[in-house]
Amino acid sequence: MKIKSLLLACATACAIATPAMAEGGMFEGVLPEGWTADVVAAVKWNYYNFSNWQQDGTSNYTWLVTYDADVQGKWKVANWRNLVNLALGKTWTDGLGQRKSADKIFWESMLDFNLSEVLKPYIGNRFETQFLAGYSYSEDEEGNEVKKAVSSFMDPAYETQVAGLAYIPNEMFSQRLGFANRMTISHGYGFADDPDTEKFEKFKDEPGLESITEFKYTYKNIASFKSRLWAFVNFKGVDEIDGKWENLLAVTLVPYIEFQVGFDMAYDKDLSLDAQYKTMVLFGITWRWF
C-alpha cells in the first residue's frame, strides 16, 4: 500500500509539471511591469526494496516536495521583495517506520527605500513555522520504541518585525543590519517559556539586533548557488545569539532534472546548547514557474 501511494504521488506531480515543461514556465509572461520573479517547485524521491538480498540492504523510500519563490517589485521610490520557502518530506525505513526528513514554512517580506544606489533603509516582517508534528524517538527498558511529540504546526512559530539599513551593491549580494522584535509562539511545548520566571508562557517577545547576509549566483541557467546567513542577538547579552546558515547548490543535468547539494547549520540556545547541522543530496523533477 505504501508503494502504491508513493507511485501515485509521483505520477500526480509529473502530471502537474507537464504543462509547465511544455510552455517553458507555468506563468511565463504574466508578471506586470517592474516585477521580477524566481519561482521553482520540485518533487524529489528515491526508493529501495530488498527481498532475501544476501549482500545486505534495508528497504526504504524518501519523498520531498519543495517550493521556493523570490518575487520583487521595483519602483523609483522603493523595492518590495517577498521570499517564500516551503518544504515537506518524509522517509520510510523498514524496521523504523516513517519519519520526517523536511518540514518548513517560511515567508519574509521586505520593503527597501531607495535612499541611494546601494544604501537602502528597510522595514519588514518574517513568519516561520512547520506543517506537521515533530517527534523525538527513544527506547524503553524493554527495547520498545517510545515516540514523543515535541513540536507541531504553530508550535513553535516565529513572527519577526524588522527595521534597519541594507547595503545592496548588486543583484548577487546584500547585507542587512537592523533592529528586530522576534516573537515566539508556543501553546504546548514550552518554546516560549522564560527560564528566568519558570512559568509556562504562550508568547515571548525578544527585542534585539538582526543581521542578514545573502549571496546568489547563477551560471547560464545551468547551475546556481545561494547562501543566506542570519543572526539575531537579543538585548540580554551576546550569549543569547541565535543563527542559521543555509547553502544550496543546484545543477541542471538535463531539462527539468536537477541535482542539489545543501548544507545548513543552526544554533538556537533555547533548543540546544550545541550547533545543529544538516546535509542534503537531492535528485528529482524541477520545474520553473517564472
pLDDT value at position 170? 94
pLDDT value at position 12? 45
pLDDT value at position 274? 85
pLDDT value at position 251? 92
pTM for this model (two decimals): 0.86
pLDDT value at position 11? 42
State the distance between the two ends of the chain, measured CA to CA, in whole angstroms.
36
Closest CA relative to residue 266, chosen from 226, 216, 232: 232
Distance in angstroms (rounded) separating the CA atoms of residues 145 and 249: 36
pLDDT value at position 14? 41
pLDDT in tens, the chain (290 residues): 344 454 444 444 444 433 333 334 556 678 888 999 989 999 988 888 888 887 788 899 999 999 999 999 999 999 999 999 999 999 999 988 899 999 999 999 999 999 999 999 999 999 999 999 999 999 888 888 899 999 999 999 999 999 999 999 999 999 999 999 999 999 989 899 876 667 788 999 999 999 999 999 999 878 999 999 999 998 876 667 899 999 999 998 888 888 889 999 999 876 777 889 999 888 888 887 87
pLDDT value at position 83? 97
Tell me the three cell numbers of residue 168: 545592496
177 burial level (CB within 10 Å; 0-12, 13-18, 19+): middle
pLDDT value at position 24? 44
Residue/partner pairs of 244-250 with CB below 8 Å, 24 or more apart:
249/223, 249/224, 249/225, 250/223, 250/224, 250/225, 250/286
Write out the chain in H/E/C secondary structure. CHHHHHHHHHHHHHHHHHHHHHHCCCCCCCCCCCEEEEEEEEEEEEEECCCCCCCCCCCEEEEEEEEEEEEEEECCCEEEEEEEEEEEEEEEECCCEEEEEEEEEEEEEEEEECCCCCEEEEEEEEEEECCCCEEEEEECCCCCEEEEEEEECCECEEEEEEEEEEECCCCCEEEEEEEEEEEEECCCCCCCCECCCCECCCEEEEEEEEEEEEEEEEECCCEEEEEEEEEEEECCCHHHCEEEEEEEEEEEEECCEEEEEEEEEEECCCCCCCCEEEEEEEEEEEEECC
| β partners of residue 253 | none
pLDDT value at position 237? 66
pLDDT value at position 167? 98
